[in-house]
Amino acid sequence: MRGREGVQEIHDLHVWPMSTTETALTVHLLVPGGYPGDAYTAGVAAALKEKFGIDHATIQIETDPGTPCVLESDKTV
């Protein structure tokens, strides 16, 4: 996700098994250029499915680097 166009930062990343065959992921992506649209988040979800087998991805886009996320203490980058 770090290499995706527009992504400046990733935080609040969590991955867990939903069952023995399904995996879930939640993540916040800081994209200062503005909300990139539904096709962008669908593309991120598709890439996660293809590369890592993530079946259920919830992707939150944040656009203002000056507004701290209350969950940013889980920062991964």
Domain boundaries in the chain? 9-74
What's the confidence (pLDDT) of residue 77? 47
What's the confidence (pLDDT) of residue 73? 61
Both tokens assigned to 74: 């889980």
**Strand pairing category for 23-30 and 56-62:** parallel
What is the reported pTM? Answer: 0.84
Both ends of the chain: CA-CA distance in Å? 11
Cα-based distances in Å from 3 to 9, 21, 31, 57, 70:
10, 27, 12, 17, 24
Range 44-49, long-range pairs (CB < 8 A, 24+ positions):
44/1, 44/4, 47/4, 48/1
What's the confidence (pLDDT) of residue 68? 83
- Which pLDDT tens digits describe the chain residue by residue (77 residues)? 888 889 999 999 999 999 999 999 999 999 999 999 999 999 999 999 999 999 999 999 999 988 888 777 654 44
Write down the CATH number for the domain with range 9-74: 3.30.70.1350
